[in-house]
Structure 1
Amino acid sequence: MQAEKTKGRIYEFEMTDIDGKPQKLSKYKGHPLLIVNVASLCGFTPQYKDLETLYGQYKDKGLRIAAFPANEFGAQEPGSDAEIKNFCLTKYALSFDLYSKISVKGPSIHPLYKYLTTESGLAGDVPWNFSKFLADKDGKIMARFGPDANPTGKDITSAIEKALNP
């Protein structure tokens, strides 16, 4: 059973937050989690605002968002973690979790993204910045959305509602 095999697997990963502190993804147990690879110089960068709106709409119901800066696509995230944090706080007043820059494809792909793109049940390379994976309350990846999927659009909000009320 693919679903049982991957259930809770994201909780095995430890990441580094934007301030350089280790964070276990197990802190998200019991919460739906939207995982997004982000970039500051991308045509999709305005989705930060939509992600913040989405978070404001659903955080009290349990939704969590984890954003992972990546520089693989058009070198659109060239800055340091400090520069990325400053940009996100100054321009978008982000309040959801922002992590240290990682690789989301290629030979140096981070193990979390290797899992998401090969073993999660929704395999396939990340095509561009602002690709999204939604994990349910048990850590099973239940949906995947492309970069052009608006975070406040019906496809994503319907999936979040389903994750919040299985």
Structure 2
Amino acid sequence: MNLYDIQVYDGDNQLQSLSQYKNQVLLIVNTATECEFTEQYDELEDLYEKYHEQGLTILDFPCNQFGEQAPGTMEEIMSFCADTYGVSFPQFAKIEVNGPNESPVYTYLKRYQDQSLSARIEWNFTKFLIDRNGQVVKRFEPLVRPYEIEIYIENCLKRKSY
């Protein structure tokens, strides 16, 4: 299995294949609207606007698994993100990132990350950078702000797929 074989539900509950993101640099983030890190949406949107034309796409997966910090319907979450932070990158249906109901996206990401890291996602706003070939480049924990990983994004964007 590779990342592009996975199908997920988008924010409108429509099944989507991640194959539509082939040859793009991806930043995959589990998010929450009532989290101490929710303000990171600002920086994520800035990075998306700055680099989208060069091939960056941010994939937002709301997760209510940590302290129930992503309450509400997807319509409410998407409205909050658009109105408060101007989010324009793709948002997907709420998922779980750990346990028996874990999304296949996170099963994949955790399997192919740096094995020195815990497989368990500890909190919202854990970020995974994926190269144009669908390979996990690096995992960034919630305390790492999106602007701090900009150099990694730039380096991935410079590399062509092979």
> TM-score with structure 1 length normalisation?
0.90
| Distance across 2 between alignment mates of 1:103 and 1:81 | 14
Corresponding residue number in structure 2 for 1:120: 112
Residue 46 of structure 2: SS of its match in structure 1? helix
Instruction: Trace 1:28-39 onto structure 2 (pairs within 5 A).
Output: 28-39=21-32
Given the alignment of the two structures, is residue 80 of structure 1 paired with residue 73 of structure 2, yes or no?
Answer: yes
Shift in Å, 1:122:
2.7
Shift in Å, 1:93:
1.4
| Distance across 1 between alignment mates of 2:10 and 2:141 | 24
Given the alignment of the two structures, is residue 106 of structure 1 paired with residue 106 of structure 2, yes or no?
Answer: no
- State which drifts further: 106-115 or 49-58: 106-115
Corresponding residue number in structure 2 for 1:12: 5
Instruction: Trace 1:33-112 onto structure 2 (pairs within 5 A).
Output: 33-112=26-105
**Does the 8 Å CA contact 1:39/1:69 hold for their aligned counterparts?**
yes
Given the alignment of the two structures, is residue 158 of structure 1 paired with residue 151 of structure 2, yes or no?
Answer: yes
**Does the 8 Å CA contact 2:113/2:139 hold for their aligned counterparts?**
no
Given the alignment of the two structures, is residue 137 of structure 1 paired with residue 129 of structure 2, yes or no?
Answer: no
Corresponding residue number in structure 1 for 2:16: 23
| Distance across 2 between alignment mates of 1:107 and 1:29 | 28
Letter in 2 for 1:116: L
Identity %: 43
**Does the 8 Å CA contact 1:116/1:122 hold for their aligned counterparts?**
no
- State which drifts further: 42-51 or 104-113: 104-113
- State which drifts further: 44-53 or 107-116: 107-116
| Distance across 1 between alignment mates of 2:113 and 2:52 | 26
Structure 2 gaps, min length 5: none
Q: Which string of whole-angstrom CA distances, capped at 9 and with x for unpartnered residues, describes residues 121-146 of structure 1?
A: 33511110000001100100111100
Segments of 4+ in structure 1 off by > 6 A? none
Letter in 2 for 1:57: K
**Does the 8 Å CA contact 1:104/1:113 hold for their aligned counterparts?**
yes
Aligned residues: 156
**Does the 8 Å CA contact 1:102/1:109 hold for their aligned counterparts?**
yes
Residue 147 of structure 2: SS of its match in structure 1? coil
| Distance across 2 between alignment mates of 1:121 and 1:51 | 21
